[in-house]
Amino acid sequence: MADVAIRFKDVDKWFGKLKVLSDINLAVVAGEVVVVCGPSGSGKSTLIRCVNGLEGIQGGDLIVLGESIVRPGVSMSGLRTRVGMVFQSFNLFPHMTVLQNITLAPVRVRGLGATEAEKTARALLERVRIPDKADHYPANLSGGQQQRVAIARALAMQPKIMLFDEPTSALDPEMINEVLDVMTDLAKDGMTMMVVTHEMGFARRVAHRVVFMDGGRVVEEATPEAFFATARSDRAKEFLSKILSH
């Protein structure tokens, strides 16, 4: 059996009295791309935010890269150097140039020298196809460019897993593909990815598995072909008809 990168075991999560994740059992194998979809408020963001400890869990166990992250004394910042995250709202640091954004964590957390970090950063900017923007500030980039910088910034830590929380939802339609293309490259290179997205074309082409959530539960889990052809639950059918109709 291939290496399991992420394993949710009976995970429960509450926000105060509100239960937002119920009984989640899910394993993501190394190198696998899992697309998470479902209606708004179904717990998709919360699910992937648990993986890098941005949210804690109240029940069950969550094992990331062989380590339980609910064990007392586990190093969150250590975990997060191995798990990269890309947010819907890009979240580049506005007072730093693109290059500074990308080199910050490698220098401060991994202790890389400035020259080496810069070299890596420039290579990553090539990879996300904006090598000429190194000295720009985020405010002077388009949304699509900012999101690609955010991806480069996460990759600079050489993570084993990448989490994406609706990375294209804040983008104008004409910029969506430039970001999806970068993510597709990343998937082809064998990165383990959990991607919350409504881009069903991406799911069809790139995902190994689609997870459909509703009301804090994983309702369906299937290959993209199976999911799109024969979604079983009514909720998933309804969701798909809405998503695919525009």
Ligand X SMILES: Nc1ncnc2c1ncn2[C@@H]1O[C@H](COP(=O)(O)OP(=O)(O)O)[C@@H](O)[C@H]1O
Q: Residues with Cβ < 8 Å from 138, sequence gap 6 or more? A: 90, 92, 93, 94, 96, 98, 101, 146, 149
Minimum distance from residue 235 beta carbon to other proteins (Å): 29
| Alpha carbon distance 52, 148 (integer Å) | 20
Q: Which of 5, 45, 121, 125 binds ligand X (CB under 6 A)?
A: 45
- When the beta carbons of 124 and 219 are compared against other proteins, the nearer one is 124
- 167 lines the binding site for other proteins (CB under 8 A): no
- 44 lines the binding site for ligand X (CB under 6 A): yes
Q: Residues with Cβ < 8 Å from 127, sequence gap 6 or more? A: 152, 155, 182, 185
- 47 lines the binding site for other proteins (CB under 8 A): no
Which DSSP string corresponds to 110-177?
A: S---HHHHHHHHHHHHHHTT-GGGTT--GGGS-HHHHHHHHHHHHHTT--SEEEEESTTTTS-HHHHH
What Rg, from alpha-carbon coordinates, does the chain have? 18
For residue 11, give the H/E element and its range.
strand 4-15
Q: Interaction with other proteins in 130-149: which residues (CB under 8 A)?
A: 137-140
- When the beta carbons of 38 and 138 are compared against other proteins, the nearer one is 138
- 169 lines the binding site for ligand X (CB under 6 A): no
- 84 lines the binding site for other proteins (CB under 8 A): yes
Contact 133, 141 (CB under 8 A): yes
| Alpha carbon distance 44, 217 (integer Å) | 9
- When the beta carbons of 72 and 94 are compared against other proteins, the nearer one is 94
- 76 lines the binding site for other proteins (CB under 8 A): yes
Q: Which of 9, 22, 81, 181 binds other proteins (CB under 8 A)?
A: 81
Say which residue the tokens 């949710």 belong to: 8
- Count of CB atoms situated within 10 Å of the CB of 202: 24
Identify what 41 binds: ligand X, Mg ion, other proteins, none; CB under 5 to 8 Å per kind.
ligand X
Q: Interaction with other proteins in 101-120: which residues (CB under 8 A)?
A: 104-105, 108-110
Q: Which of 20, 64, 85, 183 binds other proteins (CB under 8 A)?
A: 85
109-138-52 Cα angle (round to 5): 40
**Which one of the spans 15-23, 105-113, 172-180, 224-232 is the region binding ligand X (CB under 6 A)?**
15-23
Q: Which of 15, 78, 223, 225 binds ligand X (CB under 6 A)?
A: 15
Contact 24, 221 (CB under 8 A): no
Q: Which residues bind ligand X (CB under 6 A)?
A: 15, 18, 20, 38, 40-46
Question: What is the binding site for other proteins (CB under 8 A)?
Answer: 52, 54, 76-78, 80-81, 84-85, 87, 89, 91-95, 104-105, 108-110, 137-140, 150, 153-154, 157
